[in-house]
A and B are shown apart, each in its own frame.
Chain A
């Protein structure tokens, strides 16, 4: 998917001023946030499970090459194929090639963020194939020709009214001419339209929440059942997954599943949790006859062992963005790429470039709520700060910022000069502001005063008053 992260500030202006979006984002607080808290409160073992989950992932990452090869062996033993891709382009080539060799025309898709990362839909269309998103949220944004705005609820930014119009426009060709305005009717119409696609698909592509080395299995977690219709009805099943999705055993996956659903939606278990291993067996009555796994690196291997290593523990639950006050205000499209919110602010600069996505690590108050709710205990604020450190080092920060910062640090390291200079400055400001105690405008502080008044300093600085009161006997 092509990044528009460089347009961050402009996108933010648009999203802050969009009443439909603001209303839609309100559902995140009343839904995801509330439900997660309730689910966590109901499970006394939650924090212990988080700690264990982190441990499982860390162990796996330290031995990632071993587990990937063990996984591949077992996929092959069950009749499946594993393909390795260093880049998104390679991954797309592999998928298109599999589809071509299968003589495919129509491809149904379960939700896969790696698929978005690869830009697989564009690649399929360019190869003359017809990709159809089947997760209702992904289907909606496919009709709207928009990118996802959340990693598990990709159409969270859309209002019911907008969805009504989309269906009315796009479903007419199937004979649905009535405008559906209520949720049950909308969902039912989508069910009927997509049912025909499921049944006529040649290839089904799903993502994977986990890949299990012990058995060569891939795991998907859904509520709609679309992932299962996608991996069962066509004659070819392709799984697209990042290399960091591996876990050692089914027991390890079970532990991670417990924290995944609760962190994502507040459910204790999603409706459908499916472990897929290989193609149909010789005596099966249904199922695809080919099973392919496409493993994508795209820079993940280079994150191992460095400052961004912890990001590889991410299980794509979405809790961080649900709880991020910045994300709640600006929505997902402002982040300009596949991954949004705090985890997106770390991954997007790493995957598309820090110069392209330079705003993302900075549009953050470092309030830490993301780390607090992350089931894998990922230190997101520290990684965002590390990205800022790289920007500073590479002189990507603005000249004004660097100058102001340099001036401040210069003074901060010279306490006596600081006391005299800053002391004088605040005393003057205090005098200027003595009538109202605040300023509506302040030279060089437009960023502050455009949004709020600037309280005036009280008077002489604390240090200067202290010296006066206590004399110079203090050390």
Chain B
């Protein structure tokens, strides 16, 4: 399976310089998502660099009320990325953090607020970047499978990401997209929420899994690894066999690796 994104991705003859914000979860848990993102961007003609001085966007600290540490981390991100044409990340929640919340974090510091606002204006979630900025026309990929798509909350409500991943998936011939009931309802991850209130999280994620199973789709795709780890973990706990991938892995044609929560064995994936 091949994937060749084609689009216009140059300004005045120079390729766009994209800083990849890989996100902590992708970096640590599933690098394949990062490499898929790089492939999609490079195939579209971008020059991708991965600034060394990145770790986290600061959401864990921010959503726990530690605004001070959040500011330190935000300054680190701004400094590392502000020299690029764009910051692109395979996560709606991290980009939402950078776009919506970094400027507000520095509401009383004009200097940092301006730098945050400039970075915010150039930061994109990957599906939105491919569709809205690069206007990628074809992915040159094909894959026979039925899939369903989970809309992660931050991406949907902070960034308006809904149509873009669906439009991109529509360019993969052989793929059948089946919408689940309540695709836009929270899966129960919510960062630290899922471990602080496991019983409530369980209620939400089991409903999500039931809705996924209700479509009969072979694969679940989504744009945020936190959600996907949560859902995949529950699918496995319930003994179901829906396979879970990040949407960029499908778009880049890089799904010949074990699905989330699975391993390759001599007898096939488990």
A residues near B (Cβ < 8 Å) are 9, 12-13, 16, 325-326, 329-330, 362-369, 371-372, 385, 387-393, 397, 401, 405-406, 408-409, 411-413, 415-416, 418-419, 422, 426, 433-438, 440, 445, 447-448, 450-463, 465-466, 470, 474-475
Contact pick for B157, options A369, A390, A422, A435, CB 8 Å? A369
Some 26 contacts from A to B, beta carbons below 8 A apart, are A12-B199, A12-B200, A325-B185, A330-B203, A363-B200, A367-B186, A367-B190, A368-B154, A385-B62, A385-B63, A401-B64, A405-B61, A412-B69, A426-B28, A426-B29, A435-B265, A438-B233, A440-B237, A447-B194, A451-B205, A452-B233, A455-B233, A462-B22, A462-B50, A465-B35, A474-B52
The distance in angstroms between the C-alpha atoms of A435 and B153, with both chains bound, is: 32
Chain B 51-65 interface mask (CB, 8 Å, partner A; 1/0): 111111010111111
- Asked if A389 meets B195 with Cβ closer than 8 Å, knowing A433-B263, A458-B32, the reply is no
Are A422 and B28 touching (Cβ within 8 A)? yes
Interface centre among A440, A457, A470 (most CB of B within 10 A): A457
For B158, give the chain A residue with the smallest CB separation. Answer: A368
The distance in angstroms between the C-alpha atoms of A222 and B190, with both chains bound, is: 37
For A433, give the chain B residue with the smallest CB separation. Answer: B263
Are B65 and A397 touching (Cβ within 8 A)? yes
Residues in A whose Cβ lies below 8 Å from that of B98: none
User: In whole Å, how far is A403's beta carbon from the nearest beta carbon of chain B?
Assistant: 12
Residues in B whose Cβ lies below 8 Å from that of A330: 200, 203
Are B200 and A326 touching (Cβ within 8 A)? yes
The distance in angstroms between the C-alpha atoms of A391 and B189, with both chains bound, is: 22
Q: Which of B188-241 contact A (CB under 8 A)?
A: 188-205, 207, 229-230, 232-234, 236-237
The distance in angstroms between the C-alpha atoms of A297 and B100, with both chains bound, is: 33
For A17, give the chain B residue with the smallest CB separation. Answer: B199
Residues in B whose Cβ lies below 8 Å from that of A408: 56, 60-61
User: In whole Å, how far is B263's beta carbon from the nearest beta carbon of chain A?
Assistant: 3
For B202, give the chain A residue with the smallest CB separation. Answer: A451
Residues in A whose Cβ lies below 8 Å from that of B261: 437-438, 453, 455-456
Residues in A whose Cβ lies below 8 Å from that of B201: 451
The distance in angstroms between the C-alpha atoms of A362 and B154, with both chains bound, is: 17
Are A452 and B195 touching (Cβ within 8 A)? no
The 6 residue pairs across chains A and B that have the minimum distance between CB atoms: A365-B190, A447-B195, A437-B263, A392-B65, A452-B233, A388-B65
Are B65 and A389 touching (Cβ within 8 A)? yes
Residues in A whose Cβ lies below 8 Å from that of B32: 458
Residues in A whose Cβ lies below 8 Å from that of B193: 362-366
In the assembled complex, B163 has its CB within 8 A of some CB on chain A: no
Residues in B whose Cβ lies below 8 Å from that of A9: 197
- Asked if A392 meets B157 with Cβ closer than 8 Å, knowing A435-B265, A451-B234, the reply is no
B residues near A (Cβ < 8 Å) are 22, 24, 26-32, 34-35, 49-56, 58, 60-67, 69, 72-73, 76, 153-154, 157-158, 185-186, 188-205, 207, 229-230, 232-234, 236-237, 257-258, 260-263, 265, 269-270
Residues in B whose Cβ lies below 8 Å from that of A475: 49, 51-52
Total A-B residue pairs with C-beta atoms closer than 8 Å?
Answer: 217
Interface centre among B49, B52, B258 (most CB of A within 10 A): B52
Are B189 and A452 touching (Cβ within 8 A)? no
The distance in angstroms between the C-alpha atoms of A391 and B67, with both chains bound, is: 12
User: In whole Å, how far is B154's beta carbon from the nearest beta carbon of chain A?
Assistant: 7
Residues in B whose Cβ lies below 8 Å from that of A422: 27-28
For B228, give the chain A residue with the smallest CB separation. Answer: A455
Residues in B whose Cβ lies below 8 Å from that of A454: 229, 233
Secondary structure call for the A interface? helix
Are B31 and A413 touching (Cβ within 8 A)? no
User: In whole Å, how far is A90's beta carbon from the nearest beta carbon of chain B?
Assistant: 33
Interface centre among B200, B204, B205, B236 (most CB of A within 10 A): B200
User: In whole Å, how far is A468's beta carbon from the nearest beta carbon of chain B?
Assistant: 11
Are A462 and B72 touching (Cβ within 8 A)? no
Are A329 and B203 touching (Cβ within 8 A)? yes
Residues in B whose Cβ lies below 8 Å from that of A456: 261, 263
Are A462 and B53 touching (Cβ within 8 A)? no
Residues in A whose Cβ lies below 8 Å from that of B234: 451-453
The distance in angstroms between the C-alpha atoms of A362 and B189, with both chains bound, is: 13
Residues in B whose Cβ lies below 8 Å from that of A437: 258, 261-263, 269-270
Are B27 and A16 touching (Cβ within 8 A)? no
Residues in A whose Cβ lies below 8 Å from that of B22: 462-463
User: In whole Å, how far is B2's beta carbon from the nearest beta carbon of chain A?
Assistant: 20
Contact pick for B66, options A13, A409, A436, CB 8 Å? A409
- Asked if A466 meets B50 with Cβ closer than 8 Å, knowing A401-B192, A447-B194, A452-B234, the reply is yes
The distance in angstroms between the C-alpha atoms of A459 and B33, with both chains bound, is: 13
A-B contact sample (13 more), CB < 8 A, given A326-B204, A415-B55, A475-B49: A12-B197, A329-B204, A367-B186, A409-B73, A412-B55, A412-B58, A433-B263, A435-B270, A451-B194, A451-B234, A453-B237, A458-B31, A461-B28
Contact pick for A405, options B35, B64, B269, CB 8 Å? B64
Contact pick for B61, options A409, A426, A458, A474, CB 8 Å? A409
Are B50 and A365 touching (Cβ within 8 A)? no
User: In whole Å, how far is A357's beta carbon from the nearest beta carbon of chain B?
Assistant: 15
The distance in angstroms between the C-alpha atoms of A401 and B229, with both chains bound, is: 21
- Asked if A413 meets B76 with Cβ closer than 8 Å, knowing A422-B28, A438-B261, the reply is yes
Contact pick for A435, options B190, B195, B202, B263, CB 8 Å? B263
The distance in angstroms between the C-alpha atoms of A416 and B55, with both chains bound, is: 9
The distance in angstroms between the C-alpha atoms of A448 and B32, with both chains bound, is: 23
Contact pick for A458, options B29, B62, B197, CB 8 Å? B29
Residues in A whose Cβ lies below 8 Å from that of B50: 462-463, 466, 470, 474
Residues in A whose Cβ lies below 8 Å from that of B197: 9, 12, 362-363
The distance in angstroms between the C-alpha atoms of A16 and B207, with both chains bound, is: 13
Residues in B whose Cβ lies below 8 Å from that of A16: 199-200, 203
The distance in angstroms between the C-alpha atoms of A418 and B201, with both chains bound, is: 29
Residues in B whose Cβ lies below 8 Å from that of A426: 28-29
Residues in B whose Cβ lies below 8 Å from that of A411: 55
The distance in angstroms between the C-alpha atoms of A193 and B235, with both chains bound, is: 52
Residues in B whose Cβ lies below 8 Å from that of A412: 24, 55-56, 58, 61, 69, 73, 76
Are A447 and B196 touching (Cβ within 8 A)? yes
Are A372 and B157 touching (Cβ within 8 A)? yes
The distance in angstroms between the C-alpha atoms of A264 and B88, with both chains bound, is: 39
Are A447 and B153 touching (Cβ within 8 A)? no
Are B54 and A415 touching (Cβ within 8 A)? yes
